[in-house]
Amino acid sequence: MITAALLILATCPIDDPWTRLEGTQPAQWRLVWTSDPAHEVTVSWTTLEAGNSHRVHFQPMEELREFAQGHAPTRADGEERHAREVAAHRSGAYTLDPTEIGEVTGAFYHHARLTGLQASTTYWFRIESDGLLSPELHFQTSPAEDHAFKMLHGGDSRTGIQERQRMNRFIGLLVDEHPDLITFAHGGDFIANGRLWGHWQRWLSQNELTTSAAGRVLPMIPTRGNHEPGPLFDEIFDDPGGAGLNYYSTDITPAVSLITLNTEISAAGDQAVWLESELARLRPERRWLLTQYHRAIYPAVKDPASAKSHWVPLFEEYNLDIALEADGHSVKRTVPIREEAQDPSGVTYIGEGGLGVPQRAPKSERWFLQEPGMSGKAHHVVLLHFGPVEFHSRIVSLPEPLLSGVKATGEEPGLPADATWRYLAGADPADEAWRGADFDESNWDEGVAGFGYGDEDDATVLSGMQGEFSRVYIRTLIDPALVAEFEEVQLAIRYDDGFIAYLGGVEIARAAIESGCGPSAEGVTSHEAGDWEVFPLGGGAELAARLGPGPAVLALEGHNCSLTSSDFTLHARLIGPTKDLPADPKQALILDEFRLRPRSER
């Protein structure tokens, strides 16, 4: 028998490393840069309730040093030491999709624009909503002079929830590792369905993981991707470049500018006219001139974006240096390209999106990916260093302790990877009783763990699944005593596309399924099975006590996003504890390095 306490643990985990949405507690903070990052930033956040008073308290580091020495004033209650404050200029309810009304709890956005800032300055700030405060955080404004700095770029964080969290943690590590890293250009496809607040809510909470251990937040320069239709993108990032337009220039320093374009509206017409005017304004004034947009023009996986015929002639006419791309779910850097040929004076295209989404194999035979270009398949970010005599980019993947998957050392099986399960394929259970210990499973088939088809790695092959049915149900018995000694019990799973897991009849984990279960499941999104992904279930002794004596049932339902999907995987085990190794960004895998001299020296 399982208690209500485990239900609470499973549905509302208390150890999420981000701020819980409660009342008017500020949460889901993010900073946005658009045109003038040396002097302006938009501070944005979320509250569960609308509230009445929303503001940001802030102060530059030098003034805080004076405060620490007893020379600056503070409030009588001592709660707030930042002398300046700005009220939110915009607040409102996030738009719910019609399918979410009555099913998903809404929330409220708030935006406060800080202006008149000093360049090259660290600002500490706290967000306040109705008297409730965020943690103390800080950011850096961009240089007003021609100083060296670093920038991150990446895209496609929309699915692969565990990988997305690992990438976010990695970004947080990089922020403290590189004091001169000042901004993060996101290439779009933040989430799977941009019309669903439920998708954005999870992304926004997990985005807090990019905040460094020291409390530093990278201002974001956001790009709209093809998975961000609807009003929520603008509600979340405060209309960057204008509501529905979302193209704009960011003059990061007098020597470096980034032009953000929108591949989800017409690439011709007004956007092309604006692009040409910006390129003419910025060239030859800028030493380094870049653009970012979502759909790749020289793609490693897909067909070229329709923007190619409108934008590439302008890129080449005005000698753009670097184009940052996403959407392909792979890694690539092209050769320099001009007039559809390799040319040392051409434009280099870098990226393709690896912030969590399952990666695809690139079409490495394409001419523009040949040496000295490159292509590959790995979750990654691009670290860009802008100096006075050289541009240096590194495409970096996760350090070992953050890599997706379970390691062979330091773990013990609570349920082995080759356990025997009962399974139901081609039909749905009559009710929820199949999840419990009293269910009669004698009519279900029996198979070894590792259910699926199409991957040539399945122990129990479901050869009749493709085109016939999209759901499979599996269950097996576990002995709570086997996990009682574990410091932490973890569900390790490989899945394609989505799953829901139950222990003792209670849901304990789900991924790539937004709501519902069985034939009523909704929002099943594509997810490629890779290495083992880990879902913490809590301490072993506590878990065993809640399960009670006797065998308990671990049950899972696996879903394909379509009947015609080319493959399916559902493979689960229980483990604990895994080896706890510190992650060191210096140990990150460097997938590619690229250096470029200014055009005047090429």
Query: Do 488 and 367 sit in the same domain of this protein?
Result: no
Chain segment 536-594, per-residue pLDDT in tens: 888 888 888 989 888 999 999 999 999 999 899 999 988 876 444 456 777 788 999 99
Has residue 53 got a pLDDT over 80? yes
Query: Do 330 and 408 sit in the same domain of this protein?
Result: no
Q: How far apart are alpha carbons 155 and 213 in whole angstroms? A: 23
Domain assignment present for residue 519? The answer is yes
pLDDT computed for residue 107 by the predictor:
97
Has residue 348 got a pLDDT over 90? yes
Has residue 77 got a pLDDT over 70? no
pLDDT computed for residue 5 by the predictor:
28
CA distances from 144 to 109, 120, 382 (A): 31, 7, 24
Strand ranges for 67-197 from DSSP E? 84-87, 90-93, 108-114, 122-129, 132-133, 137-140, 149-154, 181-186
Weakest-pLDDT range from 104-108, 185-189, 501-505, 540-544:
540-544
Query: Do 431 and 381 sit in the same domain of this protein?
Result: no
CB 44 within 8 A of CB 68: no
How many residues does this entry show for the chain?
A: 602
CB 473 within 8 A of CB 521: no
Q: If you average pLDDT over every residue of the chain, what do you get? A: 89
Q: What is the mean pLDDT of residues 168-183?
A: 94
Neighbouring CB atoms inside 10 A of 55's CB total 16
CB 297 within 8 A of CB 325: yes
In the numeric block, which tokens belong to residue 212?
A: 């460094």
CB 40 within 8 A of CB 64: no
Query: Do 423 and 387 sit in the same domain of this protein?
Result: no
Domain assignment present for residue 254? The answer is yes
Has residue 411 got a pLDDT over 60? no
Higher pLDDT, 12 or 519: 519
pLDDT computed for residue 406 by the predictor:
35
Nearest to 337 by CA among 353, 320, 351: 320
Q: What CATH number does residue 508 fall under?
A: 2.60.120.260
Query: Do 388 and 464 sit in the same domain of this protein?
Result: no
CA distances from 288 to 143, 254, 259, 387, 599 (A): 15, 10, 11, 9, 9
What percent of the chain clears pLDDT 70, i.e. is strictly above it? Answer: 91
Q: For residue 347, what is the DSSP state?
A: B
Q: What CATH number does residue 223 fall under?
A: 3.60.21.10
Domain assignment present for residue 456? The answer is yes
Residue 34 C-beta-side C-alpha neighbours within 13 Å? 15
Domain assignment present for residue 206? The answer is yes
Domain assignment present for residue 9? The answer is no
What's the domain range around 378? 27-399+587-601
pLDDT computed for residue 197 by the predictor:
95
Chain segment 12-34, per-residue pLDDT in tens: 333 468 899 999 999 999 999 99
Has residue 73 got a pLDDT over 50? no
Residue 385: is it exposed, middle or buried by C-beta count within 10 angstroms (0-12/13-18/19+)? middle
Query: Do 441 and 329 sit in the same domain of this protein?
Result: no
Residue 312: is it exposed, middle or buried by C-beta count within 10 angstroms (0-12/13-18/19+)? buried
Has residue 6 got a pLDDT over 80? no
> 């879903």: which residue's tokens?
559
Residue 265: is it exposed, middle or buried by C-beta count within 10 angstroms (0-12/13-18/19+)? middle
Query: Do 221 and 369 sit in the same domain of this protein?
Result: yes
Q: How far apart are alpha carbons 250 and 184 in whole angstroms? A: 12
Query: Do 166 and 107 sit in the same domain of this protein?
Result: yes
What percent of the chain clears pLDDT 90, i.e. is strictly above it? Answer: 72
Query: Do 359 and 439 sit in the same domain of this protein?
Result: no
Main-chain phi, psi angles of 314, to 5 degrees: -75, -40
Q: How far apart are alpha carbons 223 and 186 in whole angstroms? A: 6
Chain centroid to CA 293: 17
CB 123 within 8 A of CB 56: no
Q: For residue 45, what is the DSSP state?
A: E
Domain assignment present for residue 15? The answer is no
In the numeric block, which tokens belong to residue 456?
A: 């040539």
pLDDT computed for residue 382 by the predictor:
98
pLDDT computed for residue 110 by the predictor:
98
pLDDT computed for residue 424 by the predictor:
97
Chain segment 448-463, per-residue pLDDT in tens: 999 999 877 789 999 9
CA distances from 331 to 116, 122, 355, 499 (A): 39, 33, 11, 27
CB 487 within 8 A of CB 539: yes
Query: Do 347 and 428 sit in the same domain of this protein?
Result: no
Main-chain phi, psi angles of 104, to 5 degrees: -120, 135
Domain assignment present for residue 1? The answer is no
Residue 472: is it exposed, middle or buried by C-beta count within 10 angstroms (0-12/13-18/19+)? buried
Residue 533's pLDDT band (cuts 50, 70, 90): confident
CB 424 within 8 A of CB 473: yes
Query: Do 262 and 383 sit in the same domain of this protein?
Result: yes
Domain assignment present for residue 16? The answer is no
Q: What is the mean pLDDT of residues 496-501?
A: 94
pLDDT computed for residue 531 by the predictor:
72
Measured over the CA atoms of residue 434, residue 435, residue 439 and residue 443, the dihedral's sign is positive
Query: Do 311 and 349 sit in the same domain of this protein?
Result: yes
| Helices 161-177 + 197-207 axis angle, to 10 | 30
Weakest-pLDDT range from 405-414, 478-487, 508-517:
405-414
Q: How far apart are alpha carbons 277 and 265 in whole angstroms? A: 18
pTM: 0.74
The count of structural domains within the chain is 2
